[in-house]
Structure formats: C-alpha cells, structure tokens
Structure 1
Amino acid sequence: MSFITHSLLSLALLLALAWGLAALWIQAPGGHGLRLVWMGLWAASALACLAAVWLQPRYATPARWVFAVAAVALAAWWISLTPSNQRNWADDVARSLRGEVHGAVVTLHNVRNFDWRSDTDYTARWQEASYDLETLQSVDMALSYWMGPAIAHTLVSFGFADGRHLVFSVEIRKERHESFSAIGGFFKQFERSIIAAEERDILYVRAGPRGEQVFLYPIQMPLAAMRQLFLAYVDNANRLADNPKFYNTLTANCTTLVYDMVRPIVPGLPMDIRLIVSGYLPEYLYRHHGLDTRQPLHTLRAQADITQRAAQAGPVADFSARIRATAQQTTR
C-alpha cells in the first residue's frame, strides 16, 4: 500500500478508536471496572491493527480480522441501545407532554408549573390546560446562556390574548442520577423530551436559581405560521410520548429540532452554523427577518435581556407581564 493509503487507513482506525472509547466510557454496562476492560479490549484490537499496517505487514490480515470482529461486536452493542420512556426520571422531566386538538382548541396534559425556590428545592406541579389558537397573538424566542456567548438553550414562548404565555422547550430527559453532558449527548446518554411550561417556571428557574442570562426576543411571524408551529410542537410531543428518541447534541438538540419544525412553515430558511452555536441565533434571525429589522440588532439585544427582571420577579402569577414591562416601555 502507498503512504497515502496507509495514512488514510490509520486516520480511520484512530477515529474509530476514539469514537469507540468514548461510547464505551459513557454507555458500557457493568460498572467502572468492567467498562475499563471493554475499553482496553477495543483499544488493543484497534492499535494492533494499526501497528500491523505500518510495522508488520505480514500480520495485517489477522489483525484486520480481529479488529473487524471487535467492530461488528461494538456496532451490534451500539444498535442494541434503544430509547425508553420508562426510567427513574428527574422530577422536572418526569412526565411526558401530550396534547389533544379539537378544532382551534388544544388541550395539553402535563404542563409544568413548578414553584422554584432553588435548583434543588421546589414544589412540583403538573397541570392540564387548554389553549384557543384563535386567540394566539405572539411568539417569542428565549435564549438562556449558561456557558459563554456561543452556547445557549433555545425556548419558544406563545402568547395568548388572555395574558397567558406557554413555553415549549426541547431538553434532555435526564434520570435522577444524571446531569447534562454535551459529550454524552453524542452517545445516546439521554432521551429527548419536549416540555411545555409556564414562563414563571421555566424562565424564572434559569434566570433566578440557575443564574443564567436570559433574553426574550419577539419573533416576526404571521399568525397562521404561529398556529402551525404550536401544533408542530404538540405533534412532536405526542410522537415522543409514544415512541421515545435519543437527544443528540449536534443533530437533535434544542435548536435544530425547532428549525426542523419551522422549515416546512417558513420555506427557504437555510441551514447555518448558528443553528448549532445557538448563542448567535439572534444574528441568524435578524438576517432572515425573523426579528424587527427597523432597529439595530444591538438595540434589540439590550431590550431582550430580561435576566434581572425575571430573577427579581420570582415565580409570581404576573411573571410574564413583569418581564415584559420595561421592554414595552423602552419601545414607546
């Protein structure tokens, strides 16, 4: 084989080695000790194949067979990892959202409305609520920054004529012993969840107890498109309740799944790196006229920062009105 062929094969082996080690570290059964054994066996098969390619060509064929058997075993194990709705879930994702559509009225089961005192001290409350899409008036995008300017969690809030605001959020469905891991999100560590929650719950806990920086941007969208997006969330939630799926940090996250729902409603929206580094999503929306382009983006960003207002308001009944009060006064 030529040097280029050797190099390409080596690169493929090293990538497979790294992927397998990460997958086994995160997901292999049997506890810490057995996990290290599986990782050691995988590393030995890959490195033996790599050494045979470069150092001992006459051993290359047996080494490739050993690695092929190990790769097939690893792939079979990986395929066997299937999502489930039956686990010991953390309280804030314990219930699956379901919706029923009767004409313009949507009834949602398991809307979250927790009273948060801290991130670990709360009163859990799940409720049933109905929403008349004929009275839907607004859509806001909330971005909650928790790890620098590039990384934000994306939420979408729907406002109704009676003053209610309902937020949909695509999240990891973590178990009680788990915490968020961006790396784990690549390796089937978490199921996917769609949460519907009151703003006083889901925006307050991020701005207050969790200390995240929260922005709320009014979205420019026709009423018909707003209703379609609301129904898309309900449809996706129902399908997840019946057929669980894994969360994926890159391809099935809090922003890309929203994009998947919006794309059929607003044709022509392009893929963009800012759908992955969602902290820069306002720039994407501004460029494609999803935000009010009559004002500079920096002005919109300043008006959208509700962090202090949300944290100070607390989980009160008129939370939605309080976080919008200053922004509305600013634009008058």
Structure 2
Amino acid sequence: MRAGRRAAVGPWAGRIAGGVGTALGTALGTGALYYSTILPDALRVGLAVAFPACMLGAGWLRGACARHGVRAALGVMAGVWYVTDPPRNDRVWAGEYAIPADTWRTGDVIHVRNVRNFRYRTVNDYLPAWYDASYDLNRLDSVDLVTSYWAGENIAHVFLSFGFSDGQHLAISIETRRQARFPYSTIAGFFHHYELFYVTADERDLIGVRTDVRHERVYLYRLDLRPEVRTRLFLSYVAAIHDITRHPVWYNTLTDNCTTGILARAGARLRYRLDWRVILSGHTADMAYDMDLLGPYDAKRYPDYAALHAASRIRRAPGAVIGADYSTAIRQALPPPEGPG
C-alpha cells in the first residue's frame, strides 16, 4: 500500500517541481528581456511578450520530450544572451549621470576630475556643474556614513563622505546609472537595466539635495576607523572610480548596490555581507553599530543605537540655504566623536 502511494505521489511531485521551475524561469526570462537595454524599445517589449508566449505555447506540443526540449532551448538561449550582455558607458544618460568622475594619483595627492556640484532649484530643476579637485592623503581625517530615508524605516540610500583637515569633503555614492529614456524602477535593478555609477560629489550636492530640496530624513555618523583603514578605504573608492570609466559593470540590487559596495571595501566579515540589513538598507547604520564601526561616541549620552540614531539626524533650520559653510553647518548639532576617527 505504501509503495503504491509512493508510486502515485512521485509523478505528481515531478510535475509540480517542473511546473514551478518553468514558471520561475519564464518570469526571470521575461523580466530580463523587459528590463533590458535592447533597442529599439519596440523590439525589447516584443521579445518580452514573445518569450513567455513561446514557453506557454510549448505546453501544447505532443510528447514530454518535445515540450521539455523547446523550453530548455528557449531557456538556454535567454541565459546565454543574458550572461554575454555587456554593460556600456556610451548610452544617453540622465543628466545627473551624464559625466563620470575620474581619478589619478601623484605621490600622496589624489586628483579627481568632474566632482559633481549641482545647484538644485527643485528636485527636477538644477544647474549642472562640475569641478576638479585634489586631496592630500595625509590630511584625510574622517569618514562619515550617511543614510537618507524617503519612505519608512527599512529602505534608505547609503553612502560615505571623506573629510580632510583642510576643510574639504568628498562624498561618494554607489548608484544606478540611469538612461534618460527610463524612469527609475526598483525591480529593474535586479536585471541588466542599470550600469553601476560612482556619484563623486560635493556635499552641497549629494547631501544638500536630500536635506534641503527633497526634504528626506538624513543621518550622518562618524565611522571609527584607524588612519590606515581610512586611507585604504578611500583608495579603494578612488581605484574603482577610475576602473569603471574603462570597464563598466552592471548594477544589481542584491549583489552590487550602495550597501554591498561599502561593506566589500570596508573588508566586512562574510556574515555581515550576508546580513538581512544589506537588503533592508535602512538598517545599515544599525549594522555598523553592531560591528563597532561608529564613533567613538559618549556612551553615557548615547547608551544604545536608538539614542545615537535619534541624535544623528541632520536638522536644517527653516529658510536655511546651501552655502559654502554647508558641511560645517550640518555637523554642528550632531553627536561629536570622542576621539580621532
């Protein structure tokens, strides 16, 4: 009796597993085609419609071998196309991603071409501007973690800002490089839709647009890093900025995003790179706190992460303007680190 039940269950289990696999493969293939960069758009959309139609139509073929063979062939073709689909730097980009930064080194001085410094009138109305600057590694004395929330507590944009003893700050944000023809889409980030981009900017641009124009909730924390670690972290960004101008890479919401890039360059242990807070980026600062990377702050005034988080929000006075003293102004009311770091 038991043997008979096993024999009856076996084929059904196989069919269910096969059906789930086919549905998942069809969904992934359709998403990859729809969110691809194929031109013209009519071809992209047409392929995204044709692929699931062919996968579904294969179910009407006689014989399991024919059905499975056609679907396998379609899956292989889609897979080969996907893994050989190259990222590029020569697309028509949205204005804020049009001009990438580049870097080079002379002794202990890092030169950066095209530091972005947009002046925003509104979210979508801005005056584009870039400048060139040089940064002395011997003056690098701080690294700040910035988290910016626009809806809820679970999702935030995360980036770093490097401070120098001569008053300079260089903010670097790992972002999607969006084409002008596409609106932003979270789902698209799971596929080959965006190239990865290092927004290398003045704090008045990268932080200022969030505090004063978009009115997001922005938090700034000092990272507790040894001088050699600060330098190594900064140089890893400098190298990546240069490399990506010659060898573009795809952005991926899961594996190559704003949080994973920071963790990889900070040499985080594997368990933190696999932490759920990597995906729910609004908890990145909480994770950094658990890793003993924040501060050092006064333990009596800020006994836990909740207290530190509440005190670390950048609060702008009504009518405040983004001026030359912006970097100093936003830090005046924030928790001061207790030591060099």
**How is 1:1-332 mapped onto 2 (pairs within 5 angstroms)?**
2-27=11-36, 29=38, 34-35=43-44, 37-49=46-58, 59-263=63-267, 270-271=272-273, 272-292=275-295, 294=299, 295=302, 296-309=304-317, 312-327=319-334
CA 1:143/1:28 → structure 2, altered by over 3 Å: closer, same or farther?
Answer: closer
Runs (5+) with no aligned partner, structure 1: 53-57
Give the TM-score normalised by structure 2.
0.87
Question: What's the C-alpha RMSD, in Å, of the aligned pairs?
Answer: 2.3
1:67 and 1:268 mapped to 2: Cα distance? 37
2:252 and 2:120 mapped to 1: Cα distance? 28
2:84 and 2:336 mapped to 1: Cα distance? 55
CA 1:13/1:174 → structure 2, altered by over 3 Å: closer, same or farther?
Answer: same
Of 29-38 and 16-25, more deviation after overlay is shown by 29-38
Cα deviation for residue 153 of structure 1 reads: 0.7
Q: Does structure 2 retain, via aligned residues, the 8 Å contact 1:313–1:322?
A: no
State the identity as a percent: 33
1:33 and 1:191 mapped to 2: Cα distance? 21
Cα deviation for residue 240 of structure 1 reads: 0.4
1:204 and 1:64 mapped to 2: Cα distance? 55
1:253 and 1:312 mapped to 2: Cα distance? 34
* Matched position secondary structure for 1:249: coil
* Matched position secondary structure for 2:255: coil
Q: Deviations over 1:46-92 (max 9, x none)?
A: 2345577xxxxx62111122212222332233234211111112221
Residue type at the aligned position of 1:211? H
Q: Deviations over 1:254-280 (max 9, x none)?
A: 1101111111xx667732111121101
2:30 and 2:254 mapped to 1: Cα distance? 19
* Matched position secondary structure for 1:137: strand
1:42 and 1:179 mapped to 2: Cα distance? 24
Q: Does structure 2 retain, via aligned residues, the 8 Å contact 1:212–1:307?
A: no
Of 205-214 and 321-330, more deviation after overlay is shown by 321-330
CA 1:140/1:329 → structure 2, altered by over 3 Å: closer, same or farther?
Answer: closer
Give aligned pairs, total.
Answer: 323
Cα deviation for residue 99 of structure 1 reads: 1.1
Residue type at the aligned position of 1:42? F
Q: Deviations over 1:122-164 (max 9, x none)?
A: 2211111011111111111000112321111111011111122
Give the TM-score normalised by structure 1.
0.89
Residue type at the aligned position of 1:320? S
